[in-house]
Structure 1
Amino acid sequence: MLLRVTHETTYHYDHPVRNAVQSLRLRPSEFAGQKLLQWDVTIKDGIRGAAFRDGAGDHIEAWSVRGPVDSINVLVTGEVETTDLTGVLRGHREQVSPIYYLNTTDLTQPDEALTTLAQSVSAKDPLDLAHALSGAVSDAIAYVTGVTAPDTTAAQALSLGKGVCQDHAHALIALANVRDIPARYVSGYLHSTETGAQHDAAHAWAELHLPSLGWVAFDPANRSCADDRYIRLASGLDARDAAPVRGVFVGEAKETMTVHVAIGGTQQ
């Protein structure tokens, strides 16, 4: 599939700030399921700094804005050719051992309820277990916007029984770790949901490391594995670790953010 992305993020400040520095993970991953045809990241009045690929295989790029400014605009445009690999991350170069992703954070730490849910799932093999864990998250946490926040934990989302893709990913990571399956958070884009509805927003899912396949992407929010509708950006232990944009600035100001994402697709 040929996917076209426009992703614009504007950070607003109630008082001017200066010397803002941002670390961006906004360039799609390179693997057998994704081919970059064109991709551009710009920050208005920004200065592009160093870029490198980290041990997890993610592309990281530094930008700075001297200011003073009362807003910072980050614009991403591009085209990616995707191939359906039924969720398998084939041909992705990385150096971090999968064992690292057995570590938990405050967002993915399993409580008693998550542990009980993980242990209640039975399966005939690791792949079947991964699918069953993802299905358990889908059943336990309904997709409902506006009820959770960026700092909502997997345990809190399960208790609420509601959440968004970030909560689904965190919960699946927690369940996988209980069952000794390395799991990580993935940020990216989704062209359309399981119902075919246009998905004009950034998206998140989880990857589980299985003995015979390596990393496999599961999306509990859509009850599916990642296919050619998905664009993979970056990964980490949780949403904070895999955040597409991280930044700091000099000054005392309250920051708010507006985001617009448009994704078009053409079946090839």
Structure 2
Amino acid sequence: MRLKITHETSYCYDPPAQGLVQSLRLTPSVHEGQRVADWTISVSGGQRGAAFRDGAGDWIEGWSVRGPVQEIVVSIAGQVETRDTAGVLRGHRETVNPLVYLRPTAATRIDAALRDLALSEQGEDGLDLAHRLAAAVARAIAYEPGVTEAHTTAAEALALGQGVCQDHAHALIACARERGLPARYVSGYLHSNAGGEPHDAAHAWAEIHVGSLGWVGFDAANACCPDDRYVRLGSGLDADDAAPVRGTTFGSGEESLDVRVQVEEMEQ
């Protein structure tokens, strides 16, 4: 599948900021399931700084903008050719030991209810257990936009019984780690949901490390493994660690943002 992606994030500052620096994890990963045909990142009024590939295999770009800054726009446009690898992350070069991803974070910290959910499933092996945990999370947390926030934890989402893809990913990560399976948060894009309906926003899912097979993706929000509808950007211990845009703003004003994402299938 050939996917065309446009992603624009506008930041407004009142009063204008004195300046800002950003770290962008907005370049698609390099692995067998996807190939970048064309990709452009721009920051209005910005100066591109250093760029590097980190230990997790993600491409990071630094940008800075001198003030006063009332508004900046981070724009991404490109095309990616994808193919279905049944969720298995093949050909992705990284140096971080998978055991690092057993470490809990504030967003994925286990509580009694999450532990009960994690222990409720038994699998024939690591892969089977991962599939069962993903299905259990999908049953326990109904997809419902607007009921959770960016800082909602996995435990809070499970208590609500509702959430979005970020909450499903955090809950699955927490359950997998409780069962001794390294797990991490993945940010990216999704062309359509499991029913084929268009999906016009950035997306997130989990990856679980299952022995010799390595990292395998699980999208509990859509009850499937990532296929050729997905474009992978980067990963981290949780949503904050894997954030596509991170930065520091100099000044004491208020920040507001607006995000527009569109993923289209192109004719081959």
Q: How far apart, in 1, do the equivalents of 2:50 and 2:43 lie?
A: 14
Q: How does 1:72-151 map to 2 (within 5 A)?
A: 72-151=72-151
Q: How far is 1:122 from its partner?
A: 1.3
* 3-state SS of 1:56 partner: coil
Q: How far is 1:18 from its partner?
A: 2.0
Is there any run of 5+ residues in structure 1 with no aligned partner, and where? none
RMSD of Structure 2 on Structure 1 (CA): 0.8
Q: How far apart, in 1, do the equivalents of 2:50 and 2:245 lie?
A: 15
Q: 1:32 is matched with which residue?
A: 32
Aligned residues: 268
Residue type of the partner of 1:203? Answer: H
Q: How far is 1:69 from its partner?
A: 1.3
Q: How far apart, in 2, do the equivalents of 1:237 and 1:22 lie?
A: 20
Q: How far is 1:12 from its partner?
A: 1.2
* 3-state SS of 1:27 partner: coil
Please list the CA deviations of residues 195-250 of structure 1 after superposition, one character each: whole Å capped at 9, or x if unmatched.
11100000000000001310000000000000000000010000000000001111
Query: After TM superposition, which residue ranges in structure 1, 4 or more long, deviate above 3 angstroms?
Result: none
Q: How far apart, in 2, do the equivalents of 1:253 and 1:53 lie?
A: 33
* 3-state SS of 1:220 partner: coil
Q: 1:227 is matched with which residue?
A: 227
Q: How far apart, in 2, do the equivalents of 1:129 and 1:250 lie?
A: 46
* 3-state SS of 1:35 partner: strand
Q: How far apart, in 2, do the equivalents of 1:263 and 1:25 lie?
A: 18
Q: How far is 1:72 from its partner?
A: 1.2
TM-score, structure 1 normalization: 0.99
Q: How does 1:113-192 map to 2 (within 5 A)?
A: 113-192=113-192
Q: How far apart, in 1, do the equivalents of 2:147 and 2:95 lie?
A: 37
Q: How far apart, in 1, do the equivalents of 2:225 and 2:18 lie?
A: 42
Q: 2:11 is matched with which residue?
A: 11
Q: Percent identity?
A: 60
Please list the CA deviations of residues 142-201 of structure 1 after superposition, one character each: whole Å capped at 9, or x if unmatched.
000000001000000000000000000000000000100000000000000001110000
